[in-house]
């Protein structure tokens, strides 16, 4: 069965960086993308960005451009999200999620991969930013 398992909760100081991992199993990793979503306490879902496991191309929400790095390791089926220059407003649960893409559905993407919808979620990782 499809499973996404994230690394454990972390506490970081303002200005630091955090790197969250997401281990995928139960499916062919490079057939799907990975999207990262966060949720601050009591707030809604915030889409951060996604990465094509097929091409390695990543796209980001404008507010995270330049501050987030998304990577995948297809040899270990692990996706990573690194967020830099943390502030207190980065305190949130961070989710990785399996994403159906153009490549997932059609196999050939001469025009580039494209993210459709999320069909499986990990359990989330609480990142607390506090001095």
Residues binding another protein (CB under 8 A): 37, 44-47, 59-62, 95, 100, 114-124
Closer CB to another protein, residue 74 or residue 123?
123
Given the complex with another protein, which of 11 and 45 has the nearer CB atom? Answer: 45
Tokens of 21: 């991992």
State in angstroms the smallest separation of the CB of 95 from another protein: 6
Beta carbon of residue 18, minimum distance to another protein (angstroms, whole number)? 19
Half-sphere exposure (CA, 13 Å, Cβ side) for 89? 3
User: Which among 96, 46, 105, 88 has a CA at the least distance from the CA of 70?
Assistant: 96
User: Is residue 66 packed enough to be buried (19+ CB in 10 Å), middle (13-18) or exposed (0-12)?
Assistant: exposed
Residue closer to another protein, measured from CB, 100 or 109: 100
Beta strands in the chain (DSSP E): 3-6, 10-12, 18-25, 33-39, 46-52, 58-60, 68-73, 78-83, 92-101, 115-121, 125-129
Q: How far is the CB of 24 from another protein (least distance, A)?
A: 15
Q: How far is the CB of 27 from another protein (least distance, A)?
A: 13
**Closer residue to another protein, CB minimum distance, 16 or 120:** 120
């Amino acid at each position: 069965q499809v499973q996404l398992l994230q690394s454990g909760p972390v506490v970081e100081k303002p200005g630091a960086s955090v790197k969250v991992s997401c281990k995928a199993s139960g499916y062919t990793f490079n057939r799907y993308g990975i999207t990262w979503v966060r949720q601050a306490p009591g707030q809604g879902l915030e889409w951060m960005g996604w990465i094509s496991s097929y091409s390695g191309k990543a796209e980001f929400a404008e507010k995270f451009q330049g501050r987030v790095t998304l990577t995948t390791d297809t040899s270990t089926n692990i996706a990573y999200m690194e967020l830099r220059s943390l502030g207190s407003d980065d305190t949130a649960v961070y989710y990785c999620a399996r994403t159906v893409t153009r490549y997932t559905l059609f196999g050939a993407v001469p025009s580039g991969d494209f993210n459709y919808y999320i069909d499986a979620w990990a359990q989330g990782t609480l990142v607390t930013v506090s001095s």
